[in-house]
Amino acid sequence: MVPTNYYVILSAILFGLGVFAFIFKRNLITIFMSIELMLNAVNLAFVAFSQAFGRLDGQVFVLFVIVVAAAEAAVGLGIIILIARNRQTLNVERVDLLKL
């Protein structure tokens, strides 16, 4: 069997790559995708600990995380469509009305 800490380290790597993509990317949709990547990394840690402790709570929580991610994707993409319609751009640097 694969040790649990391998899974946790892989989860940390994926989460870190998600954070980096969130900071580095300039396209709204890609930034949104990096949030999904971070959620996936956390799900991996949940399932790994669920298996390590021999309890199913972690897998149930993964189901809830997936449901929330689906709801978040629907609302977030609606907001992105609105921004693209009103400002004619998907670049986050051009979406700066709140900036002083």
**Alpha-carbon distances, residue 2 vs 8, 26, 100 (angstroms):** 11, 37, 51
Binding to other proteins in span 42-61, by CB under 8 A:
43-44, 47-57, 59-60
How many residues make up the chain in this entry? Answer: 100
Q: How far is the CB of 97 from other proteins (least distance, A)?
A: 17
Q: What is the rounded CA–CA span in Å between residue 9 and residue 70? A: 26
Binding to other proteins in span 69-98, by CB under 8 A:
69-75, 77-82, 84, 90-91, 93
Give whichever of 10 and 95 is closer to other proteins, judged by the CB atom.
10
The yes or no reply on residue 35 touching other proteins (CB under 8 A) is no
Per the DSSP assignment, residues forming a β-bridge with 91 are 27
